[in-house]
Amino acid sequence: MEKYNLIVGQSGGPTAVINCSLYGVIKQCLESEEIGTVYGMVNGIEGFLKGNVIDLKEEFRDPEKLELLKQTPAAFLGSCRYKLPPIDETEVYEEMFDKFNDLNIGAFLYIGGNDSMDTAGKLAAYGRRHGSDIRFLGVPKTIDNDLVGTDHTPGYGSAAKYIAATVRDISIDAGAYDLKSVTILEIMGRHAGWLCAASALARNEHEHNPMLIYLPETPFHMEQFVQNVKDALEKEKNVVVCVSEGIRDEEGRLICEYKGKAEVDSFGHKKLTGAAKLLEAAIMSEIPAVKCRSMEFSLTQRSSAVLASGRDKEEAEQVGRVAVRAAIAGESHQMVCMERAEGEEYKIDYVLKDVVEIGNKEKLIPSWWITKDGTDVTDDFIDYVKPLIEGECDIKYQDGLPLYVHRSRASM
Amino acid sequence: MEKYNLIVGQSGGPTAVINCSLYGVIKQCLESEEIGTVYGMVNGIEGFLKGNVIDLKEEFRDPEKLELLKQTPAAFLGSCRYKLPPIDETEVYEEMFDKFNDLNIGAFLYIGGNDSMDTAGKLAAYGRRHGSDIRFLGVPKTIDNDLVGTDHTPGYGSAAKYIAATVRDISIDAGAYDLKSVTILEIMGRHAGWLCAASALARNEHEHNPMLIYLPETPFHMEQFVQNVKDALEKEKNVVVCVSEGIRDEEGRLICEYKGKAEVDSFGHKKLTGAAKLLEAAIMSEIPAVKCRSMEFSLTQRSSAVLASGRDKEEAEQVGRVAVRAAIAGESHQMVCMERAEGEEYKIDYVLKDVVEIGNKEKLIPSWWITKDGTDVTDDFIDYVKPLIEGECDIKYQDGLPLYVHRSRASM
């Protein structure tokens, strides 16, 4: 059989380990004699349509550079948020498949979240309808952990580790003074509270914070919140509260919009910031004798190289490798999913699932993992999330800072 | 000569390495036969006056626990912000010196910033006036780097490293999309811009951000700022701007107060947050086609264990050790200062200076280390700050998170 080329792209929000999946793809291609060249789309399919493609075997001729890719956060290839039209609108598809043919592409891999799985699914469906033998595979990635069909998503474990470590650091810092204080931390999560829930890992036998955790899955009541904080202050002088940016009230109204409509960014996504600020104002007005502060974790929670989870990095690499092997085996229209084995010991099996089952869906935290009063998670959730943050990374530094690799200009 | 006891306290805002200084004090005491017991004030002199004291030799009987102290951020002993009255108001001094005598204290060490040096100075002056032979020494600590008399302060290097690494991570993340974007980062610094200036270390041959740096030392003009951002966007699509929380205009008015008076916390300090948010609003209104975001670094910049600077930790330990040796040698009324040797190679000499020269003063960035247009720092500043972030720490983890030590309840 003649060799064919593989093309890979990254899409959606970056994570600390999305480049580990890219590493896995490149490494597996180098080890597979079926694959000729490995191309990278620069800025996903949006860049691909503009002709922005690089030769990744050429880019990573130096094996040391390839190893550094694993500790480089954010999307090495660049990302995009580009939604393909329905496959009946053939124009853009014709253009893409012409380009695929020009480059002798036999396999297309897309690393991303549910929007990206929508892309992979549409391309696969179009290809099938038009008799193409190109294989289309999805490689999961999102800090939000909201993809269905998989135990968890690569990227989540590292963000969870960053959040747990940082909540603990802040709690220790906030407890330095002998006074009552409330610290409100705003964590990413528009609809699903997985990231905020991970803050519970900050607790241990010495550390009682976060004492309160509010998730988008449970309706938020401002008066109840103030009462919860008062109760917490009866028990401990240093109270740390973690809230998802997307918390909303019984009517579904976002708390961050209580002060006015949220701004909309250039992608049409609402900027969901300000919930913590608003809760801070409520505490300062209702419990004035207490020191109160708020902060937003913002971009650092998805881009920290030094707090990436070793296990997450390893799994991110594996989903990339499995996707290449699946493509070689002739699979298409699938995403690589992770299934956790039953039993005490943590073990993951990698399986394939139809992308249509995954794209455009959203997995929330199940209600039985949230306490009845809606201010905490259960021990079962802790058992679920704890293994995902395990393992540290041996980071290479230069001049006191982590050493990253940088993309050459697109050459084709 | 009979053995005497030493007492040590921590005061002011915590840092990532303030416990390394405490480690240095304890270690040096253990190695010095002149010192009997080492006491720790819990929550500084405020706690001491309430009788909150622990026996640190007892607390750290386990040498492994003592080693973990070095990687534990925030003030292990707890902190306070307590200003002593003038020494003519003798009541509180009498109370303190009685307690010193009860505990057979021969040396008093205070780890802190300029407020803490004021404390050490007043106690020394009172003691001198009343014939006490207790030695009072100051051990420098502050992320702000604003103490006079010393090349830099322990705590600054670690905060600078955190800031440089995080600005680089965020810049890479923000550059993932193929679109014009402005990211505004607010960094601590009320009057002195040392922390924000350290963001310049994020740049290297690949990384052009931060493209603009605004410090409290230079008056801020809103129109000029918008123009600077427009000019930067002509050169690069991904523009990261770093601003000190304390930037102010020509009239000395704080930018964060443009939308109303800053809230005052329970210490009477203004909460200087919101400058970045305000600049974000200005950019969104003046350059609407561009994606714009802002974030505040907040408490993480002073409490990150994993991004602490190895050199900073080493120096923080040394200033603690030097203070103990100085006390044993009979010195009093002094702070340990760091002097940098001339020449290519980085080398620090530890010297003593009168605390009165240091307390209640503030060191700003000299004008010759800021570019004429007020949007950057000079190469000389880079040469100054670069060695301070060097060296990494081998952190011990448990369950995926850095392992910290915790204080027992005060026992005396």
**Residues of chain A above pLDDT 90, percent:** 86
**Catalytic residue set of A:** 144
Mean pLDDT of the region A71-88: 94
Interface of A with B in 151-190 (CB under 8 A): 161, 164-166, 168-170, 172-179, 183
Mean pLDDT of the region A47-73: 96
C-alpha closest to that of B116 among B265, B272, B318, B323 = B323
* Interchain contact A40–B (C-beta under 8 A): no
Q: What is the rounded (10 degree) CA torsion for B358, B308, A74, B240?
A: 10
Question: Distance from CA of residue B10 to its chain's centroid?
Answer: 12
**Residues of chain A above pLDDT 70, percent:** 97
Scan for tokens 């691909």, then name that residue: A48
- Closest CB to B306 among A265, A271, A306: A306
pLDDT along chain B (412 residues), means of 10: 91 94 98 97 96 96 96 94 93 97 98 92 96 96 95 98 96 93 95 97 95 98 97 97 96 88 64 87 93 89 91 98 98 97 94 89 96 97 98 94 87 52
Residues of A in contact with B46 (CB under 8 A): 178
A233-262 pLDDT, tens digit each:
999 999 999 999 999 999 999 998 887 777
Q: Are A307 and B304 in contact (CB under 8 A)?
A: no
Residues of A in contact with B384 (CB under 8 A): none
Model pLDDT, residue A361: 86
A303-335 pLDDT, tens digit each:
888 999 999 999 999 999 999 999 999 999 999
Count the neighbouring beta carbons within 10 Å of the beta carbon of residue B87. Answer: 18
Model pLDDT, residue B298: 81
A351-406 pLDDT, tens digit each:
999 998 887 789 999 999 999 999 999 999 999 999 999 999 889 999 999 999 99
- Closest CB to B300 among A46, A169, A201: A169
C-alpha closest to that of A17 among A119, A113, A114, A143 = A143
Dist. CA B264–CA A168, nearest whole Å:
26
The secondary structure of residue A206, as a DSSP letter, is: S
C-alpha closest to that of A161 among A3, A385, A340 = A385
Give the pTM. Answer: 0.95
Dist. CA B24–CA B346, nearest whole Å:
21
* Interchain contact B265–A (C-beta under 8 A): yes
Q: How many residues does chain A have?
A: 412
Residue B176 to residue A78, Cβ atoms within 8 A: yes
Dist. CA A243–CA A81, nearest whole Å:
27
Q: What is the rounded (10 degree) CA torsion for B334, B338, B342, B345?
A: 150
Mean pLDDT of the region A96-120: 95
Scan for tokens 């349509």, then name that residue: A49
Question: Residue B144 catalytic?
Answer: yes
Residue of A15, A46, A204, A306 to mutate when probing chain B, most B C-beta within 10 A: A306
Dist. CA A312–CA A153, nearest whole Å:
9
Compute the nearest-CA separation of A51 from chain B (Å). 13
Complex ipTM value: 0.94
Residues of B in contact with A300 (CB under 8 A): 166, 169-170, 295, 300
**Mean pLDDT over each residue of chain A, to the nearest integer:** 94
Residues of A in contact with B271 (CB under 8 A): 293
Residues 6 or more apart in contact with residue B251 via CB below 8 angstroms: none
pLDDT band for position A267 (50/70/90)? Answer: low
Residues of A in contact with B404 (CB under 8 A): 168, 172, 206
Scan for tokens 């940088």, then name that residue: A406
Residue B78 to residue A299, Cβ atoms within 8 A: no
Dist. CA B329–CA A176, nearest whole Å:
32
Model pLDDT, residue A380: 97
Structure tokens at A194: 């997985």
Structure tokens at B135: 């030695």
CB pairs under 8 A between A and B: 180
Q: Are B113 and B13 in contact (CB under 8 A)?
A: yes
* Interchain contact A373–B (C-beta under 8 A): no
Q: How far is CA B346 from CA A251, B76, B152, B317, in A?
A: 62, 30, 13, 17
Dist. CA A204–CA A201, nearest whole Å:
8
Structure tokens at A22: 């890219």
Give the strand pairing for B35-41 and A397-398.
unpaired
Give the strand pairing for B105-112 and B291-296.
unpaired
Coil, helix or strand at residue B8: strand
Model pLDDT, residue B258: 85
Model pLDDT, residue B361: 86
Mean pLDDT of the region A78-82: 92
Dist. CA B126–CA B89, nearest whole Å:
10
Q: Are B38 and B31 in contact (CB under 8 A)?
A: no
- Phi and psi angles of residue A182, each rounded to the nearest 5 degrees, phi first: -125, 125
Question: Distance from CA of residue A346 to its chain's centroid?
Answer: 21
C-alpha distance across the termini of chain A, in Å? 27
CA B238, B242, B245, B251 dihedral sign is negative
A130-173 pLDDT, tens digit each:
999 999 999 999 999 999 999 999 999 999 999 999 999 999 99
Residue A302 to residue B173, Cβ atoms within 8 A: yes
* Interchain contact B300–A (C-beta under 8 A): yes
Half-sphere exposure of B351 (CA within 13 A, CB side): 12
Residues 6 or more apart in contact with residue B386 via CB below 8 angstroms: A399, A400, B201
Dist. CA A308–CA A312, nearest whole Å:
7
Coil, helix or strand at residue A94: helix
Catalytic residue, from B115, B118, B144, B146: name it.
B144
Dist. CA B143–CA B112, nearest whole Å:
10
